[in-house]
Amino acid sequence: MRTSTVSPVTRRRFLRGVGIAAAASIAAGALQACTPAAAPTSTPAPAKPAAPPTAAPAAAPTNTAAPAAAPTNTAAPAAAPTNTPVPAQPTAAAPTATPAAAAAAAPSGPPQKGAVVPTPRNQTVIFDTSTFFVFDSFSHLIPNGQQYQGGFQQSCKEYLFYANYAAGKIEPWLGQSWRYNASFDELLLRLNPRVRFNDGRPMTAADVKFSIEMLKNDAALLGTGAAEIRSYVDTVTTPDEQSVLIKLKAANPRFHYIFICGIVNGFEVLPQHVWSRVDPKTHKDNPPTRTGPYKLDRVIPDQLMFIWKKDPNYWNKGAMDPAPEYVVYRSAPVVDSAIEEFKRAQTDMPGGLTYAHMKRVQEEYKPTRILTSFRDPCPRAFWINTDPSKGVLADPRFRWALSYLTDRKKIGDTIWIIQTPPAQYPWADYKSNDQWTNREIADQNRLVYDPKRAETLLNEMGTVVQGTQRMFQGKPIQIEIMTPAIVGNPEYLIGQSVADELKKLGIDATIRSYTNPIWTQKYSTGDFDISSHWLCGVSFDPGQLYAQFLSNRAMAIGQLTTTTNQVRLKSAEFDAVVSKIDVSDPANASNKALFDQGLAMFYKHLPTFPIIQTTYPVITSDEYWTGWPTDDNLYQVPLAWWGQYGRVIGALKPSGKK
């Protein structure tokens, strides 16, 4: 095995110390987690947003890994190289008592006076997020098997490692380190020996092995890392209770990415003693057995609410002992109600508010904090179904025409919740991502608003206008742009703006909002034309995104995609380049030319394209809890629907208000 001592590292070597699971193998359902709380349909369209901060958060390089870094005025801490074991977190005494098998139900009854939850307000932190649909299942292995914004990822789940995009470092948790051999075809994971599931049983290497092999052996199961596991894993062995040795079929210097919670989530370790006795294709895992500091207390479907209660026997209190006794995630009410409840301190983070709403609230409610410096790693984007059965959509010229009909500046100035810049590359505009850019290639493939060029491309394809309709091969062109965002939300309005442009050229285009379960099913089975949502493909290096479009990951229309390539792209020339990138060390500067080839191929085929950078303002209240991330102290990702947000909950302190 390659080993080295921990020492100060260069920025390029820092990349090699980071990793993530998210985008390359995110299941369609998990994508919904990238969106903030939606503004209800009764909410008026957002007012023109305020200007963004002058400095975007600098991201840690996307190379072999790198969390998005802190704002430019914050120095990102150095991290260990890829082959250096990650330092273990502080130790803590093991629990002295064995936790109960399941959390006892909280007392039932109406919310307390002055509160919107049935728990003591000064013991409860409350988050308003997106609309909930799944209340009885907590399995990530099946379609629509869990509610991603219900607090499960933040309160009950935990991951081997966390990518702290705000601070620019990797934080070990369930795991202690990873290490490759010299040829990058063996990976050794070391686990924290103190970890316990919330039923009191220890988490060991056997659980990790079981979780990997379950995905490897059953192609019907979803899960972060599923594509990589099925493509690369040869064998998994457990030299001891805290060691997992993974032998790969071929070299892969980024395989460790899947074990790190990056964009939203990561590979999940399941308890073998629970899952080995059930059918993973039907088991709902209710209540869930995980390792986090909170257990499921109850779900209140008619109030669109999940309540999580602190586990007194949590295994890692020495590193994090959360102050809130209860964590509540609920669907955001209509904006007017959300504002009033927030001003009455009935919620700590309201949902569905534009930046203009937030500023108005801050004028009337002084305990308010607004953070504006965090740039989400996922630009808003269109994803186009490239299957040959989709007619014009299968032609890259049409996809480029679609891009030319997208007025990115107007969208960033008037549609997004706060003013945000256009996107040229399929990743966030972090300083650390500059290493993946190529100005010459970008200049040859400018993502600009140019309806004339769009019309020219449509004519070149052989489409013709007959009367008021544009025809292709004798049939009128009809296109539906779908989105999981509700009517009136930015992703919906972005789709609407492009649909209007298509109509000007004689194309019958519509925009339609689907509930998350329906959208997930349609997106995963290829039952769509275009989807307006987000592009989370690059967490640390572009190879993660490009690998999503490998032909061997494309399923026939109607078949469920359990890995990636929901757009069904098949291209031998793209495959040839991506296959080389997939086994190349992104931290090796000599491979930059290969990544440039991948970028050129991406633009040539354009199966998805970025539209705007995603700047998120975040509003919180200090009335009951303090210690939130701020522009002056952006210590962690400030988005409550991310897996990393559990670290924020763990850092909150009571204000003293009764």
In a domain, 168, yes or no: yes
Q: What single letter denotes the amino acid at residue 32?
A: Q
User: Taking all residues of the chain, what is their mean pLDDT, rounded to a whole number?
Assistant: 85
- What average pLDDT does this structure show over 635-657? 95
- What average pLDDT does this structure show over 629-637? 94
In a domain, 271, yes or no: yes
Residues 448 and 558 in one domain: yes
Q: Which two tokens stand for residue 259?
A: 């074990």
In a domain, 230, yes or no: yes
pLDDT tens by residue, 27-86: 333 333 344 444 333 333 333 333 333 333 333 332 333 333 333 332 222 333 344 334
Q: Which two tokens stand for residue 155?
A: 């309160």
CA dihedral sign of residues 148, 149, 150, 153: positive
Residues 289 and 229 in one domain: no
pTM beyond 0.85: the answer is no
Instruction: Read off the pLDDT band of 115 (50, 70, 90).
Output: low
Q: Is the pLDDT of residue 163 over 80?
A: yes
Instruction: Read off the pLDDT band of 577 (50, 70, 90).
Output: very high
CA dihedral sign of residues 637, 638, 643, 645: positive
Q: At 553, which CATH number?
A: 3.10.105.10
Q: What single letter denotes the amino acid at residue 572?
A: A
Cβ contact 55:72 at 8 Å = yes
Cα–Cα distance, 636 to 622 (Å, whole number): 17
Q: What confidence score (pLDDT) does residue 658 get?
A: 84
More confident residue, 62 or 401: 401
Residues 543 and 442 in one domain: yes
- What average pLDDT does this structure show over 440-455? 99
Residues 236 and 139 in one domain: no
Q: At 305, which CATH number?
A: 3.40.190.10
In a domain, 5, yes or no: no
Cβ contact 310:118 at 8 Å = no
Domain boundary among 275, 295, 321: 275
Instruction: Read off the pLDDT band of 431 (50, 70, 90).
Output: confident
Residues 134 and 266 in one domain: no
Residue span of the structural domain in which 135 resides: 121-151+284-371+621-654
Cβ contact 524:4 at 8 Å = no
- What average pLDDT does this structure show over 364-369? 92
Helices 451-460, 490-504: axis angle to 10 degrees equals 60
Domain boundary among 225, 242, 275: 275
Q: Minimum mean pLDDT among 13-22, 193-202, 606-615: which range?
A: 13-22
In 3D space, the residue among 196, 173, 194 whose CA is nearest the CA of residue 271 turns out to be 196
Residues 438 and 535 in one domain: yes
Q: At 246, which CATH number?
A: 3.90.76.10
Residues 304 and 262 in one domain: no
Cα–Cα distance, 566 to 553 (Å, whole number): 8
pLDDT tens by residue, 201-236: 999 999 999 999 999 999 999 998 998 999 999 999
- What average pLDDT does this structure show over 569-592? 94
- What average pLDDT does this structure show over 239-268? 95
Residues 70 and 178 in one domain: yes
Residues 392 and 499 in one domain: yes
In a domain, 37, yes or no: yes
- What average pLDDT does this structure show over 330-355? 93
Q: What single letter denotes the amino acid at residue 214?
A: M
Q: Minimum mean pLDDT among 7-21, 192-206, 347-361: which range?
A: 7-21
pLDDT tens by residue, 583-624: 899 989 999 999 999 999 999 999 999 999 999 999 999 999
In a domain, 19, yes or no: yes
Share of the chain above pLDDT 90, in %: 74
Q: Is the pLDDT of residue 276 over 70?
A: yes
Cα–Cα distance, 584 to 577 (Å, whole number): 11
Residues 135 and 211 in one domain: no
What is the biggest distance separating any 2 CA atoms in the chain, rounded to whole angstroms? Answer: 79
- Mapped onto helix, strand or coil, the DSSP state of residue 179 is strand
Instruction: Read off the pLDDT band of 537 (50, 70, 90).
Output: confident
Q: Classify residue 312 by its DSSP letter.
A: T
Cα–Cα distance, 319 to 581 (Å, whole number): 38
Residues 405 and 501 in one domain: yes
Domain boundary among 275, 293, 308: 275
| Location of structure tokens 């009935």 | 346
Q: Classify residue 93 by its DSSP letter.
A: P
In a domain, 115, yes or no: no
Cβ contact 19:260 at 8 Å = yes
Q: For the chain, what is the domain count?
A: 3
Q: Which two tokens stand for residue 40?
A: 């209800």
Residues 480 and 361 in one domain: no
In a domain, 106, yes or no: no
